[in-house]
A and B are shown apart, each in its own frame.
Chain A
Amino acid sequence: MTITPYDPSVFLAIVPEISILVVLSLVLLFDAVWQDEQRRNLGWLTFAGLLVTLGLSLTVARPSAEGALIFGGMLRHDNLAYVLRILFLFGAAVTALLGMDTPNLGRRGEFYLLMLASTFGMLLMASAADLIMLFLAIETTTIPLYILAGFFYRDDKSTESGFKYLLFGAMTSAISLYGFTLLFGFSGQTNLYGIASGLASGQVPVFSVLVAMLLILIGFGFKISVAPMQFWAPDVYEGAPTPVAGFLSTASKAAGFVVLMRFFVVVFPGIEQYWTLVIAVVAALTMTIGNFIALAQKNIKRLLAYSSIAHAGYALVGVVAVSELGINSVVFYLGAYLLTNLAAFGVAATFYRVVGSDEIAAYAGLSRRKPGLALVMLVAFLSLAGMPPFAGFIAKIVVFAAAVEAGFVWLVVIGVLNSIVGLYYYLRVLNVVYHYRSEDEEKPLEITPPYALALVLLVAGIIVVGTLFAPFFGLGNLAALALF
């Protein structure tokens, strides 16, 4: 892979990043200018700004089919980054909507600012092709998220959440940084493609590469919350403001996956038979731990946290295949999961704003109280459970198909058994929503316009992706081809 020499046109590739910085400055400006009651509009501003950015990345910043290494090899402008950008920008836009009417969050300019900064980092994570760039991008993404998780500084749980996230994050980041330095030491290069050719020379003992690989996997594993680095997720999601938890569990996780895929496929082809096995074991553990602990949860956010751990496990099943279909399926899975999980957290956010509780028991009677919201929940949870005609079904099938193709039938068997456990706890929540009675059934449950818009967008997305999957699968295929 040769580095494309400098040419002013390379700036086109980072138009989305520039656009985000512009939106970010606007938020900063209007935050200072607007009065308190007007500040809610920062949400609309962020939403619109992110949609414009999305439009720009779909048009101006389209990469060529074979991709290019630009800015001295710092970034790789290819279709993998292109497709993932769509996910990040869409996820951030919806999160802005969900945050708008959340008490103590929606009228604070800092919320939008930090979220945009984090999104900026994610865009760079998707295209980073150099250890230094990669590390900077990961930190740019994560540091704002630490603050966002602890945003309610008067709330003990939120503070705990932010602090826990920070400690775990800093620790694992340091460990993977150590892995980076080893790779630099082995190959004398910081560019991923350069390292790959350095390692391919065969002069580095396999064992040393394995050590570096494991160290790096710890850092990435934290980002995507897989076993045994999953401990932080439930506490952090529970304490963090609900829209932030949604963002953490979807966009941030997708960003972790894209780095993981790019890094492992590009840098470690030589030890593929080892790392696929390691990841297969991690995937099996993650699914099982996530699903079984989710069984016992009574708080909706903790339940979703464990379910999101389990989903990271399912997505890893596709990574294990290391094939075109495998990467394709993971990208597709991430998209389907982003829509679905944001919808689930969106319902939780909408509900919390009025009722002030995240307990599953509090959802009793919801279908009588607000049938529309109950229906959104039905769609989101069934999609999480992998039921047609929703996005989760086809996503799960393609991931499993990729693993079967690669010969990991045992992993698929573990996966499908896990999906049965998953079905059980998702249905239990729906049972509470649809079947249980409560005294609050007659009370109103207001859904403000931003929530309504976000939920309608997400539900429409879940159903469209789940029934007309071909175009979205095609996008995933574009992304996958960029790696092979």
Chain B
Amino acid sequence: MQFPILSVIVFTPLLSALIILLIPGERKTEVRVTALAAALLAFLLSLWMYFNYDTAAAGYQYIEKYTWLPALGISYHVGVDGISAPLVLLTGLVMFTGVLISWGIDDRPREFFAFLFILATGVFGVFVALDLFMLFFFYEIAVFPMYLLIAIWGWKQTREYAAMKLTLYLFIGSVVSMVGALVMYFAAGMNTFDMLELEKAGFSTGFQQFWFPFVFLGFAVLGGIFPFHNWSPDGHVAAPTAVSMFHAGVLMKLGAFAALRVGIMLLPEGAKAHMWWIILLALVNVVYGAFIASVQTDFKYVIGFSSVSHMGLVMMGFATLSREGLIGAGVQMFSHGAMTALFFAVVGMVYDQAHTRDIPRLGGISRVMPYATIAFIIGGLVSMGMPGFSGFVAEFPIFMGVWKTYPWIAVVAVVSIVVTASYIMRIIRKVFFGQVPDEHDGHLSDNTRLDKLALVVLSLVLLILGIYPSVMVPMVETGVENILRLLGGA
């Protein structure tokens, strides 16, 4: 039997959460060290998994299957394909850097890391799940720790409101999808929740067209699709730094990924019938998100809305149902995850020093925080889709795909790139290179080594992917081939 790498990745955070809970609360250093060790282990395992994925063989790999509740055809069935393997790696990456950045949390770090790791288990579980029930099981595990993480450790002014809003939005989405999933289960009549089996269920076209919007939108809520994106900027802003990173970096991908896996892959006919309006919603995300981001004065809200805008590109890539669009969306999920984690990390560091996120009151950060400045510029270039950075590798195919299907939408969507460039440049100029306001003069100091390490790791990932796309694109392509096959070669 091969080494059950995926199960080990999924349960490493959970087990370490339990171990952390057993450490007495006042021994904070032990808690942090345990957390870091576990996160590093999960990161290395996911790296190993990623680089040992056999792109030539394609398909689902590292498969493990055990019966769980045979009476209802529920099994513990995991495996990764070209779409989910990068996302598992992303989760490992964000988990590792998130722990590095959260070193300074002093209020009950034990509970903080335990909840964060339970969240991580949920996320890993969804990305590797090949069983529909299992997917929901882990999906909801990922939802509730979020509430407590934001409500307890978040930004004082909005945390309770934002945490509840976020949780309810996500829960509504997931239960709506769940009803759809139950209906699919019984309609298939195969007594199985196995998604690989359900793909062959041959649902009637009418059935698919009726249920697709519920299933897709239910998950897409977590992907931040317009008009259900509202929870996301509030949630990002209220959350503590590591949670924002997790949240924008990984959780939103969870929604997009589940919408793809369950919505598009199990109900392909429904997808074909409804995609014209999904792509319009995504277009609103892309353009509207960018414009809103450009008028924010709160540094973190800018990033929050930029996430909405970039996730719109993912949805748009999906909605093209074309090879280029899907490849771009797959890479964009990874690229945006790492990029936005980097952004939120920098925002958190700036806030910790300056105690304000109000852009007009910030300035001259580059003099004290060179690492953060360079990291933010790299992130910014990724965000603008500059060639040589991962954003280009992701966005260019998406626009190609959109151009092939709906040319005028591509034209409108490209506007967002200009707007994005404008707000990123504005921030770089004002926050990092502007005048140091008197109130901060001499009070600011540089980041810790751990913070710098996190920034370097995230920046490197973005650069490597930008300079050498082959590290990911062929893998994503294999996953896309499978989706196209389900769509009937569309």
Q: Which A residues contact B (CB, under 8 angstroms)?
A: 328, 367-368, 371, 375, 382, 385, 387-389, 393-394, 397-398, 400-401, 404-405, 409, 412-413, 416-417, 419-420, 423-424, 427-428, 430-431, 434-435, 469-470, 473-474, 477
Contacts and interface: CB of A to CB of B under 8 A. Distances in A.
Please tell me the size bucket of the interface on B.
35 or more
Given A424-B168, A431-B160, A470 B175 contact: no
A417 B164 CA distance: 16
B140 A388 contact: yes
B105 interface: no
Interface stretch (B182-190, B242-250, B325-333, B392-400): B182-190
B167 A470 contact: no
B151 A409 contact: no
Interface in B55-78: 67-72
B31 to A, nearest CB: 13
Interface string B152-170: 1000000010011001100
B148 A434 contact: yes
B318 interface: no
Interface string B124-147: 000000000100111011011001
A413 B71 CA distance: 24
Contact of B171 (A328, A420, A469): A420
Contacts of B179: 400, 404, 409, 412-413, 416
A375 B20 CA distance: 13
A141 B67 CA distance: 40
28 contacts: A368-B108, A394-B69, A397-B133, A400-B178, A404-B182, A404-B183, A404-B185, A405-B186, A413-B179, A416-B176, A416-B179, A420-B172, A423-B167, A423-B168, A424-B164, A424-B168, A427-B147, A427-B167, A428-B164, A430-B148, A431-B148, A431-B163, A434-B151, A435-B152, A435-B160, A470-B70, A473-B72, A477-B71
Contacts of B148: 430-431, 434-435
Contacts of B108: 367-368
Q: Is the interface of B mostly helix, strand, loop or mixed?
A: helix
B446 interface: no
A470 B69 contact: yes
A401 B185 contact: yes
B199 interface: no
Given A387-B140, A401-B72, A473-B69, 13 more contacts: A382-B144, A397-B136, A400-B178, A400-B182, A401-B185, A412-B179, A419-B171, A427-B147, A431-B151, A434-B111, A435-B148, A435-B160, A473-B71
B133 to A, nearest CB: 7
Contact of A393 (B21, B70, B140, B164): B140
B387 interface: no
B202 interface: no
Nearest to B134: A388
Nearest 9 Cβ contacts at the A-B interface: A416-B175, A404-B182, A388-B137, A470-B69, A435-B152, A387-B144, A388-B140, A405-B186, A388-B141
Contact of B186 (A367, A389, A404, A477): A404
Contact of B111 (A371, A389, A417): A371
B126 to A, nearest CB: 12
Contacts, number: 95
A368 B185 CA distance: 44
B16 to A, nearest CB: 16
Contacts of A368: 108
Contacts of A401: 72, 182, 185-186
A401 B148 CA distance: 29
A434 B71 contact: no
A382 B171 CA distance: 13
B178 A416 contact: yes
Contacts of B71: 328, 470, 473-474, 477
B104 interface: no
Contacts of A423: 167-168, 171
B25 interface: yes
B138 A388 contact: yes
Interface in B272-316: none
A387 B164 contact: no
Contacts of A417: 175
Contacts of A367: 108, 111
B67 to A, nearest CB: 8
Contacts of A394: 69
Contacts of A393: 137, 140
Contacts of A420: 168, 171-172, 175
Contacts of A413: 179
Contacts of B25: 371
Contacts of A430: 147-148
Contacts of B110: 371
User: Which residue, B140, B160, B185, has most C-beta atoms of chain A within 10 A?
Assistant: B140
User: Which residue, A401, A428, A474, has most C-beta atoms of chain B within 10 A?
Assistant: A401
Interface string B67-97: 1111110000000000000000000000000
Nearest to A476: B71
A375 B114 CA distance: 11
Contacts of A387: 140-141, 143-144
B21 A434 contact: no
Nearest to B133: A397
Contacts of A469: 68-69
Contacts of B167: 423, 427
Nearest to B176: A416
A427 B111 contact: no
